[in-house]
Amino acid sequence: MKALLFLLPVGILVLLILLFWKGLYLNPSQVPSPLIGKPVPQFSLPGVGGTSASLTSADFKGHVSILNVWATWCIPCRDEQPELEKLAQQKVVTIYGLNYKDDADSAVQWLQSRGNPYAKDGYDPKGKVALNFGVYGVPETFVVDSYGIIRHKYIGPLTASLISTQLIPLVHELQQVSK
Amino acid sequence: MIPELGQMALVLALCLALAQSFFGLVGAQRGSGAWMATVRPAAIGQFLFTGLAFLLLVSCLLRSDFSVLYVAQNSNTELPWIYKIAAAWGAHEGSLLLWATVLALWTVVVALFSRNLPLQFVSRVLGVMGIISIGFLLFMLTTSDPFTRLLPPAQQGADLNPILQDPAMAGHPPMLYMGYVGLSVAFAFAVAALIGGKMDSTWARWARPWTIVAWLFLTLGITLGSWWSYYELGWGGWWFWDPVENASFMPWLVATALIHSLNVTEKRGMFKSWTALLAIAAFSLSLVGTFLVRSGVLISVHAFATDPRRGIFVLALIGVVVGGSLALYAWRAPKLVSEDGFSALSRETFLLLNNLFLVVVALAILLGTLYPLVLDALNLGKISVGPPYFNSIFMPLMLPLLILVGIGPYLYWKHDTLKRLLSQFKITVWIVVAASIIILVALWGRAGIATVLGVIIAGWLLLSTAMNVVMRWRRRQKVTRGIWGMTLAHLGVGVLALGIAVTSSMSVAEDTTLAPGQSTLVHGYRFTFDGTRNVRGPNYQAIEADIRITRNGKQVTVLHPQKRIYDGANSSATEADLDPGLFRDLYVAMGDPLGNGAWSMRLQYKPLVRFLWLGGLLMAFGGILAVSDRRRRATVSVPKYTDERQAVAKG
Amino acid sequence: MRYIALLMLLVAIPALAVDTEPPIPNAALQQRYELLTHQFRCLVCQNETIAESGAGLAADLRAQVRQQLIAGKTNEQIKQYMVARYGDFVLFKPPWQPNTWLLWGGPLLLLCIGALVVITVVRRKSQLVKTSPSEVNVDDLEP
């Protein structure tokens, strides 16, 4: 019995090392979204400049869609933009945009020069709607099912591999469910 | 050329460390005098080469050799030369080299100041320290080489993070490392004793001074860090329970417990296996702290690199060093029993209680620091554990300890009676009661019950500690340096507690907007904004404000907070300015410009905030006195206790 | 001109957060404001509270807290607002719920276990004191 007690410190160490090892492959700064499984928050935003119609929460019903939060001052968004273009061309899923704390003219210029993958693009200069989505950085992308329920959130830019290995399969899955 | 020399020096140091470990441990085991005789020279050689590597890195920094990647990433030509040197430990690779150098330094000091210790024991101690050196040198040579080249060389280097360009910040890591690494000596002493199967009061007498010196460096390092963050970060805060702060505080708590536990082992030959465990735990926490800072596993302001490979290496190092020593402990420690005893009311009991509270606090802080990681790893959610949690568990656990610290030094060893003990406090009790009434009246309505309690208990501690010495004088008993050391350190704790109690609840902060000419009143002090000007520093430009502070019409001071933009990194820093005082600080930081020359600013009145660092300094100074006690110089083994007392009485 | 350039650069870089709004006239609300803003984690500068952080999001969240306080919401409601959007992560004070029972109860549990150990040891040692050789003079106060 006493011998067991003396083995306790080693035992605790082993547990700690396992914990730390697991921890090396986690990201402590990534904040999971509490909105997963909840409906898209009620909102209504004007479109960006003259390039798209207004965006409201009702637009998310009836089909699977993704909401991409972006801004012209966001550097990773520049890498993400071509991937979104490609995705838009595949016509797999409806892509909505949320222009976050941006200057309207810069946003319009961006879309004109780089292309516009968004079916609709909401203009949120104060970030008030984004706050309700729990946005804390740019870019972020939400996946919403046809009932308007948020199903997933990607933090950081969408890459080609992320889109093909995770996003598109998820979208397909959600589209099956709604049939 | 020079960087390659640095790399070679590290390789040579590694070879010598291998020799040091091998001949130290195997030589001691075989009882080979010849092998053991090589250990000290090997240790000295290892120190020379590690030190050389360090000096070579500093030389690359001073010469702004941008063909070295580390120099290009952490220094530039505009940097004042002091901070070029400080850049040596400003980032991951360099700080590892500092770790290894400080370890080699401690090793060589142990090698040189251990002539009076048995060779077999010293060989084992140096052998164990050698293993740790091997770990760090390998770490550098395989994953974190500070001498990696950058070809083609950069034209200009990046800037050292502006907030690190500060004398206190420059000194903080070396001080801390002296502490963290110094705990490896106590660790090595414990492991060496476990290997040899023998641990007695003589061993404790040898181990204690080393532990106290490491402890006092750690105290100074933490104090320096707190003081720096207070005046540099602009919020007037001094402790954030950030994981890396906790990573320095936990070893400190365990080291404090260790010093007290060593006291019992030295005096009475008891608590041996517990002391050994504490010695292992203290250094293990240093290593865990090293892991936490470099692995990116926790969110922290201090975190260095976040390469999983580096994290794995440190984890492997912890596994080998800590795992090995704890396995050894499980095997050998059960045999370290003592048949001696003590009464329920005795100094031993109180020292045991001291250990209880210190260790529980350290474990509680560990729990809080690691909990978010545990939940995340088990997929049970993502939470944050911050200052509100730590503050609410820290105070209730510390207050009982503070009360006990006032009583402990009055107790006899082995056996005491309540009647005799209480008779020591006759005068003290009345003063405490009177002081408590005064405190209650003074703070009525101005502070909460927790603060009042904190102040009273801190006052009790200060008074009772001081009275202890007074009573010795009156009884014409000698007050040795050891007792002075203890007294000063305990007074330091009281001063620290008083500072915390008052400044955390009675500080006044005001966020306000002032246009030039406007003023505002904060706790009786009038802060008037007299406008700004542009200034130019060695490697920055700044907007400097004039804040004139008066009280009852008389001028107190003029403060000059700044908003700086550093040339190299295009980042800005808020330089707060403060008027220090023993009993209060006045503190100003600029916020943002709001047009028409108006600025938002934060103005603060902070009572007794200096007591925090004064307390830390007192504790460290107490440690110095304790270590310099004449008894430590004994070169013969300690005679039977009663004989020594008779000898002292005669002479 | 240089002054203005310097100012513009400063404005662009997030630094120490000092509220540009005057304090809430109602002292009780202002106190709650300070309490609450020191309890929420900034999602951008994650080692700071929204009270200290210079990030834009922190300013937005501080404004939200202020707005809701003036609108008469309770502290609980404001916390719920934050948690609904950012999860438990945003609270520096962990809520009391099943996955934090061990966290909040842990220190007390440790103290109790430790106290039991101390009591056991003291009991055993005080038995031993009757049988052990008296090697220490009783009137000893030296450390």
Structural domains counted in chain C: 2
Q: Do B330 and A9 touch (CB under 8 A)?
A: yes
- B128 with B250, same domain: the answer is no
Mean pLDDT is highest, among A120-124, B126-130, B171-175, B290-294, for B126-130
Complex ipTM value: 0.90
Long-range contacts of C121-125 (CB under 8 A, 24+ apart): C121/B352, C122/B342, C122/B344, C122/B349, C122/B352, C124/B341, C125/B270, C125/B340, C125/B341, C125/B342, C125/B348
Q: Quick check: A40 and A57 in contact, CB under 8 A?
A: yes
Q: Report the half-sphere exposure of C15 (CA within 13 A, side-chain side).
A: 29
Does B641 have pLDDT greater than 90?
A: no
- C106 with C124, same domain: the answer is yes
**pLDDT for position B483:** 92
Chain B segment 334-353 residues within 8 A of C by beta carbon are 339-344, 348-349, 352-353
Does B535 have pLDDT greater than 50?
A: yes
- B104 with B232, same domain: the answer is no
Side chain identity, residue B94: G
Does C137 have pLDDT greater than 60?
A: no
Query: Is A4 inside any structural domain?
Result: no
Q: Kindly give the pairing relationship between strand B540-551 and strand B562-566.
A: antiparallel
Does B214 have pLDDT greater than 70?
A: yes
- C56 with C104, same domain: the answer is no
- C65 with C32, same domain: the answer is yes
Q: Kindly give the pairing relationship between strand A94-100 and strand A120-124.
A: parallel
- C16 with C59, same domain: the answer is yes
The CB density around residue A3, as the number of other CB atoms within 10 Å, is 9
Query: Which of B181, B192, B187, B189 lies closest to B214, judged by CA?
Result: B181
Strand partners, A67: A96, A142
Question: What is d(CA B447, CA A166) in angstroms, rounded to the nearest whole number?
Answer: 56
Q: Is B461 helix (H, G, I), strand (E, B) or coil?
A: helix
B299 at A interface, C-beta within 8 A: yes
At which residue do the structure tokens 């901070």 appear? B83
**pLDDT for position B446:** 81
Residues of chain A in Cβ contact (below 8 Å) with chain B? 2-3, 6-7, 9-10, 13-14, 16-17, 19-26, 28-29, 31-32
Query: Is A16 inside any structural domain?
Result: no
Q: Which of B118, B147, B165 is the last residue of a domain?
A: B165
Q: Do C86 and A134 touch (CB under 8 A)?
A: yes
Give the chain A residue nearest C61 (alpha carbons).
A131
Mean residue pLDDT of chain B comes to 90
- Give the structural domain span for A116: 37-177
Average pLDDT for B171-199:
95
The CB density around residue B274, as the number of other CB atoms within 10 Å, is 21
Domain CATH code at residue A171: 3.40.30.10
- Give the structural domain span for C31: 11-95
- C31 with C72, same domain: the answer is yes
User: Which residue among B387, B480, B592 sits closest to C20, beta carbon to beta carbon?
Assistant: B592
CA distances to B121, B339, B622, B641, C113 from C136, in Å? 28, 14, 26, 7, 31
Q: Which two tokens stand for residue B355?
A: 């250990």
Give residue C142's pLDDT band: very low, low, confident or very high (50, 70, 90): low
Give residue-wise pLDDT tens across range C43-90.
998 988 998 888 889 999 999 999 999 999 999 999 999 999 999 999
Chain B segment 278-297 residues within 8 A of A by beta carbon are 280-281, 284, 288, 291, 295-297
Would you give the DSSP letter of residue A165? I
**Contacting residues for B92 by C-beta, under 8 A, at least 6 apart:** B144, B294, B304, B305, B310
Question: What is d(CA A85, CA B247) in angstroms, rounded to the nearest whole number?
Answer: 47
Query: Is A140 inside any structural domain?
Result: yes
Query: Is A47 inside any structural domain?
Result: yes
Average pLDDT for B144-164:
85
Q: Kindly give the pairing relationship between strand A140-144 and strand A150-155.
A: antiparallel
Average pLDDT for B444-470:
91
- B142 with B208, same domain: the answer is no
C neighbour chains, 3+ CB pairs within 8 Å: A, B
Q: Kindly give the pairing relationship between strand B599-607 and strand B584-593.
A: antiparallel
Q: Where does residue C4 rank: exposed (0-12), middle (13-18), buried (19+ CB within 10 A)?
A: exposed
- C71 with C113, same domain: the answer is no
Query: Is A79 inside any structural domain?
Result: yes
User: Which residue among A7, A20, A28 sits closest to B330, beta carbon to beta carbon?
Assistant: A7
Q: Quick check: B245 and B390 in contact, CB under 8 A?
A: no
Query: Is C112 inside any structural domain?
Result: yes
Which residues on chain C are in Cβ contact (under 8 Å) with A127? 56-57, 60
- Give the structural domain span for B577: 508-607
Query: Is C38 inside any structural domain?
Result: yes
User: Which residue among B387, B413, B565 sits closest to C140, beta carbon to beta carbon?
Assistant: B413
CA distances to B422, B426, B487, B647, C138 from B419, in Å? 5, 11, 24, 31, 15
At which residue do the structure tokens 């210079």 appear? C54
Which residues on chain C are in Cβ contact (under 8 Å) with A33? 87
Q: Quick check: B214 and B313 in contact, CB under 8 A?
A: no
The four Cα atoms C81, C85, C89, C95 give a dihedral, to 10 degrees, of 30
**pLDDT for position B643:** 33
The share of chain B scoring above pLDDT 90, in percent, equals 71
Lowest mean pLDDT among B5-14, B218-227, C52-61: C52-61
Does C132 have pLDDT greater than 80?
A: no
Query: Is C79 inside any structural domain?
Result: yes
Q: Do A19 and B370 touch (CB under 8 A)?
A: yes
Question: What is d(CA B407, CA B403) in angstroms, rounded to the nearest whole number?
Answer: 7
CA distances to A144, B269, B475, C66, C87 from A150, in Å? 4, 66, 79, 29, 15
Q: Kindly give the pairing relationship between strand A140-144 and strand A65-70.
A: antiparallel
- B142 with B207, same domain: the answer is no
Q: Quick check: B620 and B202 in contact, CB under 8 A?
A: no
Query: Is C140 inside any structural domain?
Result: no
Mean residue pLDDT of chain C comes to 83
Q: Quick check: B264 and B274 in contact, CB under 8 A?
A: no
C85 at A interface, C-beta within 8 A: yes
Give residue B49's pLDDT band: very low, low, confident or very high (50, 70, 90): very high
**pLDDT for position A21:** 94
- Percent helix, strand, coil in chain A, to 5, is 40, 20, 35
Mean pLDDT is highest, among A77-91, B533-547, C101-115, for C101-115
Query: Is B260 inside any structural domain?
Result: yes
Query: Is C1 inside any structural domain?
Result: no
Terminal CA-CA length for chain B? 62
The pLDDT tens digits along chain A (179 residues) read 778 889 999 999 999 999 999 999 998 888 999 999 999 999 999 998 766 688 999 999 999 999 999 999 999 999 999 999 999 999 999 999 999 999 989 999 999 899 899 999 999 999 999 999 999 999 999 999 999 999 999 999 999 999 999 999 999 999 988 66
Question: What is d(CA C89, CA C47) in angstroms, rounded to the nearest whole number?
Answer: 12
- B151 with B198, same domain: the answer is no
Which residues on chain C are in Cβ contact (under 8 Å) with A131? 60-61, 64, 85
Give residue B305's pLDDT band: very low, low, confident or very high (50, 70, 90): low
Query: Is A165 inside any structural domain?
Result: yes
B63 at C interface, C-beta within 8 A: no
Give residue B646's pLDDT band: very low, low, confident or very high (50, 70, 90): very low
User: Which residue among A9, A14, A32 sits closest to B329, beta carbon to beta carbon?
Assistant: A9
CA distances to A147, B366, C32 from C49, in Å? 36, 21, 15
- C70 with C119, same domain: the answer is no
Structural domains counted in chain B: 3
Question: What is d(CA B66, CA B2) in angstroms, rounded to the nearest whole number?
Answer: 12
Query: Which of B98, B177, B107 lies closest to B144, judged by CA?
Result: B98
Query: Is B298 inside any structural domain?
Result: yes
**pLDDT for position B443:** 85
Does B630 have pLDDT greater than 70?
A: no
Give residue-wise pLDDT tens across range B324-355.
999 999 999 998 888 788 999 999 999 999 99
Query: Is B218 inside any structural domain?
Result: yes
- C47 with C76, same domain: the answer is yes
Structural domains counted in chain A: 1
Would you give the DSSP letter of residue B236? -
Q: Quick check: B75 and B151 in contact, CB under 8 A?
A: no
Query: Is C25 inside any structural domain?
Result: yes
- B339 with B413, same domain: the answer is yes
Q: Quote the radius of gyration of chain C (alpha carbons, Å).
A: 27
- C72 to chain B, closest Cα gap in Å: 23
- C104 with C75, same domain: the answer is no
Chain C segment 81-120 residues within 8 A of B by beta carbon are 87-95, 99-100, 102-104, 106-107, 110-111, 114-115, 117-118
| Residues found in chain B | 651
Lowest mean pLDDT among B16-20, B420-424, B564-568: B564-568
Q: Which two tokens stand for residue B474?
A: 């009156």
Over chain C, what HEC string results? CHHHHHHHHHHHCCCCCCCCCCCCCCHHHHHHHHHHHCCEECCCCCCCECCCCCCHHHHHHHHHHHHHHHCCCCHHHHHHHHHHHHCHHHECCCCCCHHHHHHHHHHHHHHHHHHHHHHHHHHHHHHHHHHCCCCCCCCCCCC
Q: Which two tokens stand for residue A114?
A: 């780089």
